């Protein structure tokens, strides 16, 4: 698959979106880590990660996630599935939360 090269403006826009999703995820997680709202925001962040990776490549989403970590000081949650106890299954190299 041919990857697109995003402009600086596109990368900035992606950073803005990831920052909003990440901030909302952490705000909900503080209220109740196992709530539907928390999973809603984690799912949106996971979906964006996947889509950006498919369109622009893993190096671009990695760059955006690193910038979001630095900008917000917040960790990136795993994108994988949860078991019945609410624990994440599998490894996620981008996650640090």
| Residue 96 pLDDT level (bands cut at 50, 70, 90) | low
Gap between the Cα atoms of 84 and 49, Å rounded:
24
| Residue 85 pLDDT level (bands cut at 50, 70, 90) | low
For 20-78, the pLDDT digits (tens) are 999 999 999 999 888 899 999 999 999 999 999 999 999 999 999 999 999 999 999 88
Other C-beta atoms lying within 10 Å of the C-beta of residue 47: 12
35 within domain boundaries: yes
89 within domain boundaries: no
Other C-beta atoms lying within 10 Å of the C-beta of residue 80: 12
Find tokens 């889509």 and name the residue. Answer: 51
The residue segments making up the domain with residue 44 are 8-72
58 within domain boundaries: yes
Give the predicted TM-score (pTM) of the model.
Answer: 0.84
């Amino acid at each position: 698959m041919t990857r697109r090269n995003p402009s600086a403006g596109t990368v900035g826009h992606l950073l803005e979106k990831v920052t909003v999703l990440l901030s909302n995820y952490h705000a909900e997680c503080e209220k109740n880590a196992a709530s539907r709202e928390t999973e809603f925001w984690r799912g949106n962040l996971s979906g964006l990660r996947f889509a950006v990776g498919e369109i622009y490549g893993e190096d671009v989403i990695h760059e955006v996630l690193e910038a979001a970590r630095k900008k917000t000081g917040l960790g990136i949650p795993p994108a994988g599935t949860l078991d019945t106890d609410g624990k994440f299954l599998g490894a996620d190299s981008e996650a640090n939360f």
